[in-house]
Amino acid sequence: MPASKRSNYLSWDETFMQMARLIAQRSKDPNTQNGACIVDQHNVIVGLGYNGFPRGCSDNELPWEREGDFLDKKYAYVVHAEANALYNANRSVKDCKLYCTLFPCNECVKSIIQTGIAEVIFESDKYHDEKEWVASRRLLDLASVPYRHYNPRYDLRLAPTTPLSSESDVKEGMLFEEINL
């Protein structure tokens, strides 16, 4: 009897939302880790991004606070995951899909619309009733860019594959595994 294909493989939505979740773990923000993954019509990844300070700006020189004077809060300095995914894209994002762990804010939505993203797929809409996110939905609706919620079926869990054996196994808090082919 011939073998049949595996039936419990990940859907494209699951795959790319998990990619957004994974890249979010690069964020150094102590409160919010947001990730974004842009894919083309052939389900090829075009760009990835996470929330963080602009290139060249030290993570130790700018504030991570959420309260206080504007210049003393992270909001004046952080580049959102969606914007970083657009900046990091390796080609045009026209007609691509954007997967993001948080519904994009109004500033990111402006860039999403202007660059021709065809659809936004989000995991969380925890700021739904705040004015910036009401404006986001208004802009997407006016520009006829569809958006939809996707609830991942799986939790993404990262665990070391082997115990740490030396200092060389750890670099910047991440485990690197030697691969022998």
**Active site members:** 82
Q: Which residues are CB-contacts of 30 (< 8 A; sequence separation ≥ 6)? A: 64
Of residues 169, 96, 90, 80, the one with CA closest to residue 132? 80
Spatial separation of the C-alpha atoms in residues 10 and 66, rounded to whole Å:
36
Q: Are 113 and 145 in contact (CB under 8 A)?
A: yes
For residue 75, the SS3 value is helix
Spatial separation of the C-alpha atoms in residues 21 and 3, rounded to whole Å:
33
Of residues 73, 80, 88, 130, the one with CA closest to residue 104? 80
